[in-house]
Structure 1
């Protein structure tokens, strides 16, 4: 079974049934349950146990103010790949970007309605973000990173990465591939996951989804860089010569495929996702593979070995041996910071998250992705990519 298929099931199990039971407890109805006391993010990262009133997305490591907005986009040039009666492709995207001011109300992490659709509970909707809703973008042209989440998972699970890159000076677009997860649109309707369940029946499912997601990312790039248009985010200017793509699980495969198809994408990173379409051998562009050690199957490792040989540009393969597949998404630090780590069955927790702390896994993911894109989009020194680091002893170079 592929990483994408196996871990989509684990994600939904942990963030719905198990999480509900842990929050509610055996004698308390969910509607009246109070969540377990959340860990303070900064203290947890340092090994502390201080508590705060509400969980907070871990603060970016850079200090620029961050703005965010979510936008509905319609690609009228192609039908929807998962819904035969839809003549156009309808998407939701969240944008994070450097803001010109830190003032304003912070955006919600996720709406209560979508939280219930995805996880069957409200608690994720109480998380605070670091980004100001609909803030005015900072002046200047910004490099761009396109993000794609894991199959069955929301773009919200890449919020911590989106805020990090925006604070570093990048514009970021995280795209929900409609009908591969629950997606909420501005009119209040929620489109469900029509593709869920197909991955076990169609041997071409992974390739089909990778191509559809790559097309989604390329369409968003078109909208952001089209000449003579204001773009989906008013006042946001993109440097079209500095574009990268990254994704988690199936989203990582899509990021590589988008780079293979589109010469505008200069570098791509895959966070622990099986590669469904053989990597192109003609791009010569940089690729980063970042894998988890816990739960890695021989088939998944062989998948990367086979594709590794086809990368002809700068290539990096790093691993967190103590991380699980979901450690590259927000779901790891979210579970940890809702105070649920010790309440989940040990085997279930370890299978999905490994043994590393969620905030620590996020710190490493931010650091290595940041070094990769800083080097290959901005031309900045990135010694973290050249040798093992004392700052991140939990990361090792596989290749």
Structure 2
């Protein structure tokens, strides 16, 4: 997992995601990454287009949980979180929202290049009025919520309300006014404590989004949580402890120890890459998942396959800047186009099945449309 890498206090989420396992210092990253240039048609680099039919809006929330102090930095006061929302919009406006701010890009790679990437969302667009099923996203340790933008936009284009959470002091997080808080837990992370704390973050965000006055029209009876790496383990823990959550997806996230006896009796999708230690970890927890479940793996993939890292690495030539063993661990041999397509397909099929009651053959047998995905275990 990414959290087992060397010190991360001088590295940040895109360094972790794009330069694999927090192994490349900022100076090297700055030298390696080429400038973000428009394509031959003059258009900017853009997050892969969503596959759904609905226009996508986006908002950013700054939330404070007045019920608890920050667990990683008590001197900071009450727990503060940044959340990105993606949702079906009434109309498509200016799809020019930056992927990341200039300040955060400069912190990460020493340049503003990543701020040149544009999303497919209209900033502050009016949300569609009808209540929508809610999907909450959580990134890997040391990584930003923005590394799940491609997945979040795609789910929103398919009619879901989506909220991606930054877990403060577990990665660099930018707050309004340009304040950036760095990672306070990266020196000696207690990953079991991280999972417990993220579950509390999830529950707090769910409370805000399902309460009167929520910025989105959310169907409080249809909620799923999805996470990458330790965010995936946290999603399953949230499913276990929060009765409001109906289903969870773990994208290549090891569990810190085994799941407690009598684990969640609700739907869980394990979608990973075939790493030796990871396989043993999931095997220990498999029998503790007592509801609907599937374990699928991508043998050609790597730990970052299920994030935006592969397509960005392809666009900026970052694979060529890394040793082969780091490329294999982070990306495998699967490139960004296919990584994005299969992640979107299986996550959306899962939430469609368990939040909308729409079955999918993707969970019945291997699919010729996605030959990269192998069935590992099925009840």
| TM-score > 0.5, shorter chain as reference | yes
CA pair 210-54 structure 1, distance change in 2 beyond 3 A: same
Partner of 1:230: 213
Unaligned runs of 5+ in 1: 25-33, 41-49, 200-204
Partner of 1:133: 123
The more displaced of 308-317 and 276-285 is: 276-285
Check whether the contact 1:257–1:277 (CA below 8 A) recurs between aligned residues: no
Q: Secondary structure at the match of 1:95?
A: strand
Counterpart pick for 2:22 among 12, 34, 43: 12
Q: Deviations over 1:357-393 (max 9, x none)?
A: 1120111011011111110111002111110000000
Counterpart pick for 1:215 among 200, 210, 217: 200
Check whether the contact 1:117–1:182 (CA below 8 A) recurs between aligned residues: no
Unaligned runs of 5+ in 2: 7-15
What CA distance in whole angstroms lies between the structure 1 residues aligned with 2:111 and 2:208? 34
What CA distance in whole angstroms lies between the structure 2 residues aligned with 1:173 and 1:152? 18
Q: Deviations over 1:249-274 (max 9, x none)?
A: 01101111111110110000100011
CA pair 376-190 structure 1, distance change in 2 beyond 3 A: same
Check whether the contact 1:96–1:163 (CA below 8 A) recurs between aligned residues: yes
Partner of 1:249: 229
Check whether the contact 2:95–2:120 (CA below 8 A) recurs between aligned residues: no
Check whether the contact 1:10–1:352 (CA below 8 A) recurs between aligned residues: yes
What CA distance in whole angstroms lies between the structure 2 residues aligned with 1:268 and 1:171? 15
CA pair 370-255 structure 1, distance change in 2 beyond 3 A: same
Map 1:131-210 → 2, pairs under 5 A? 131-199=121-189, 205-210=190-195
TM-score by length of 1: 0.87
What CA distance in whole angstroms lies between the structure 2 residues aligned with 1:52 and 1:313? 50
Map 1:355-370 → 2, pairs under 5 A? 355-370=333-348
Q: Secondary structure at the match of 1:173?
A: strand
Check whether the contact 1:248–1:328 (CA below 8 A) recurs between aligned residues: yes
CA pair 369-340 structure 1, distance change in 2 beyond 3 A: same
Q: Deviations over 1:319-377 (max 9, x none)?
A: 00010101111111111122343444433322211101112011101101111111011
